[in-house]
Amino acid sequence: MRKIYLAAAITFLVLVGISWAVVPPPPVNQNLGLYDTNIANVSSETCKGCHTANPANIHHLMLSGGTTNLGCLDCHPTQGTYPSQYQYIERSCQNCHNGTAFWANPAVNLSQLRPPGRPHHNTTKNSASSVIQAAYWAIDRQCNKCHGSSILANYDDGHYIPSYNTSLVTPLANYKVKNESATFLKAWGGCDACHDAGPDNVLSNYGTHHQATSGMQGRQCTYCHVGDTSRLRPDGSAYYLRIYLTDEWGLGWDTVNPKMELRNSTLLNAGDAVNGTGCQKCHDVGTLHNIQVDYVPGGTGPAGYGHINNNTDCNGCHGFWDAGVENPFLGPVAPGMSSVTPDVLTPGVATTVTITGTNFVQDGYTTNVLVDGNAIDVISVTNTQIEVTVPALSAGVHSIQLEKGGVTSKLSSLAVVEPVDVVTAKLASGTITVTGTGFGIEPDPAFSDLGVFITKKGQETTFKAEVISWSDTEIVVSGSGASVGNLLTVKALNGEDSTSIKR
């Protein structure tokens, strides 16, 4: 009888293996945060997935806030030849944030002005915000500051890391078994089950990690790989590494058994110390079991989209283990934030804001909205939409984030900008004095569509007035060609407003 049962069990595993093999690799759904790619492949629209506040407002606030030495014409240089000159206005994040000089104005080269010039993991200065101080978060491996604690852990936050030996169900950093057929190419038992190269410039697991940290100041290979502490590299930057399970010390590649350990406890020789490396320093047990694009109660969601959403997801990481469809890891499901409307607010004015996303409602948990780290009043909440009252904020860039049961979503931003409000325009002694608020800094005269414009009454012709002085609350322009009753319009960086000229 034992032989019969054993044969039945083997047959079952074979059938399960066949059923796994016909499920195509996703790759992992990319909706939770930034794509598994590098900055060179990210479009401006993708950038706005996290930078929800209008990028133009954020950059203009850098001018008025004095956090940059660049001026209007540096970012919007003159193009064309006289008399058909114009200012370059197209806004592409890649123009300045890809680590090279801006093609239209090589003087704007953040690799020199702010080395190494690329954002996120390579950033070396604070943002435009007076609240969000993100200078060294990535370099200091404080991952969940931006990605949220539901997605990644910080290497030094004391989270749980298994110390027991690996077993048949322990995931590997790449895979344990792979179906090599052209039709059903699929890996099981590790990260490669979902995190593999795919369309839309989605990189392999290897490519994502190496390119995300390429050029990061202070990066050490031993952030991820086990090293021999007695054998430094010649430049002292990292140790000699052991990459695969059967590797000897050094950088040789094992072509026979290329299996990469998810955690380093079983890679070490007797007497080796755990030296702060291993995938689970950032990808801990809690976050690995919590990453889901859209949790479906009962575990009936789409295969491959959540680590605990159904049996396919369990097997993707653990291989030959049939854990059923029940969720064995109770706790808060990661909230995902997709959009914030409006994303530009007025200083000193409380505003109703609508947030869209996923996983806002879950029994036993409350989703909170944090602005600058502080919980604010929620008006209403559904599983995909939250309405909140954002309290009066000062001008500048502020952070907004979701929190549920101690786990946080990705970090996003709100721009708080003083709107242009023209109160009076008085003509006297050949000049027009304009009073109001929100005028900001004076736009460069080269911008033909910014400044003070006068429309002659009854003629519907408009001309640009010569600016004599400009401050945030008062503008003085030449009154030449203007008369009482004409319409005066101030077009500033933050908007425009109009009034009739009076004496």
Return per-residue pLDDT of the chain as tens, 503 residues: 333 333 333 333 333 333 333 444 556 766 666 678 877 778 887 777 777 767 788 888 887 777 778 888 888 988 888 778 888 887 788 888 877 889 999 988 887 777 666 677 766 555 555 555 656 777 788 888 888 887 888 888 888 877 666 667 778 788 777 766 555 566 777 888 778 787 778 888 888 888 777 767 777 777 777 666 666 666 565 566 666 665 554 444 444 555 666 655 544 444 444 444 578 888 888 888 876 666 666 556 666 666 666 666 777 788 754 333 344 456 787 788 888 999 889 999 999 999 998 889 988 899 999 999 999 999 999 999 999 999 999 988 898 999 999 888 888 888 899 999 999 999 999 999 999 999 988 998 888 889 999 999 777 789 999 999 999 999 999 999 999 999 999 999 888 999 999 99
Instruction: Indicate whether 263 belongs to any domain.
Output: yes
Choosing from 80, 110, 144, the residue where a domain stops is 144
223 and 82 share one domain = no
Three-state secondary structure call for residue 482:
coil
E strand map for 137-182? 177-179
Say which amino acid occupies 493. L
Q: Enter the tokens of residue 371.
A: 């602005």
d(CA 288, CA 183): 28
90 and 235 share one domain = no
Could you tell me how far CA 474 lies from the centroid of its own chain?
Answer: 38
Instruction: Indicate whether 402 belongs to any domain.
Output: yes
> Would the CA dihedral through 408, 140, 124, 66 be positive or negative?
positive
Q: Enter the tokens of residue 45.
A: 């629209």
Over the range 31-42, which residues count as b (16 or more CB within 10 Å of their CB) and which as e? ebbbbbbbbeeb
Output phi, psi for 487, to 5 deg.
-90, 125
Choosing from 416, 437, 462, the residue where a domain stops is 416
d(CA 94, CA 104): 12
Three-state secondary structure call for residue 45:
helix
112 and 131 share one domain = yes
Three-state secondary structure call for residue 115:
coil
d(CA 485, CA 432): 12
Instruction: Indicate whether 18 belongs to any domain.
Output: no
258 and 385 share one domain = no
HSE-CB at 384 with a 13 A cutoff on CA atoms is 4
Instruction: Indicate whether 12 belongs to any domain.
Output: no
Could you tell me how far CA 187 lies from the centroid of its own chain?
Answer: 28
Q: What proportions of the chain, in percent to the nearest 5, are helix, strand and coil?
A: 20, 25, 55
Q: Is the distance from CB of 409 to CB of 364 less than 8 angstroms? A: no
Instruction: Indicate whether 16 belongs to any domain.
Output: no
Helix (H) / strand (E) element for 55: namely helix 55-64
HSE-CB at 260 with a 13 A cutoff on CA atoms is 19
Over the range 156-185, which residues count as b (16 or more CB within 10 Å of their CB) and which as e? eeebebeeeebeeebbbbbbbebeeeeeee
Confidence at residue 97, expressed as pLDDT on a 0 to 100 scale:
82
Distances (CA, A) of 132 to 111, 237, 390: 22, 30, 17
Q: Is the distance from CB of 53 to CB of 414 less than 8 angstroms? A: yes
78 and 176 share one domain = no
Confidence at residue 321, expressed as pLDDT on a 0 to 100 scale:
41
Three-state secondary structure call for residue 52:
coil
User: Which among 497, 491, 417, 367 has a CA at the least distance from the CA of 53?
Assistant: 417
Instruction: Give the CATH number for residue 435.
Output: 2.60.40.10
Choosing from 388, 416, 444, the residue where a domain stops is 416
φ/ψ bin of 105: left (φ > 0), alpha (ψ from -120 to 50), beta (otherwise): beta
Query: What's the first-to-final CA gap in the chain, in angstroms?
Result: 107
Domain that holds residue 207: 161-283+291-318
**How do 431-437 and 451-455 pair as beta strands?**
unpaired
371 and 305 share one domain = no
123 and 183 share one domain = no
Confidence at residue 297, expressed as pLDDT on a 0 to 100 scale:
61
User: Which among 346, 338, 258 has a CA at the least distance from the CA of 293?
Assistant: 338
Instruction: Indicate whether 17 belongs to any domain.
Output: no
176 and 264 share one domain = yes
**How do 412-416 and 344-345 pair as beta strands?**
parallel
240 and 165 share one domain = yes
165 and 314 share one domain = yes
215 and 186 share one domain = yes
93 and 188 share one domain = no
d(CA 140, CA 124): 11
Q: Is the distance from CB of 483 to CB of 494 less than 8 angstroms? A: no
d(CA 451, CA 449): 7
Q: Domains in the chain: how many in total?
A: 4
Instruction: Indicate whether 55 belongs to any domain.
Output: yes
Instruction: Indicate whether 215 belongs to any domain.
Output: yes
Distances (CA, A) of 71 to 81, 208, 265: 21, 35, 53
List Cβ neighbours of 298 (8 Å cut-off, separation of 6 or more).
Answer: 325
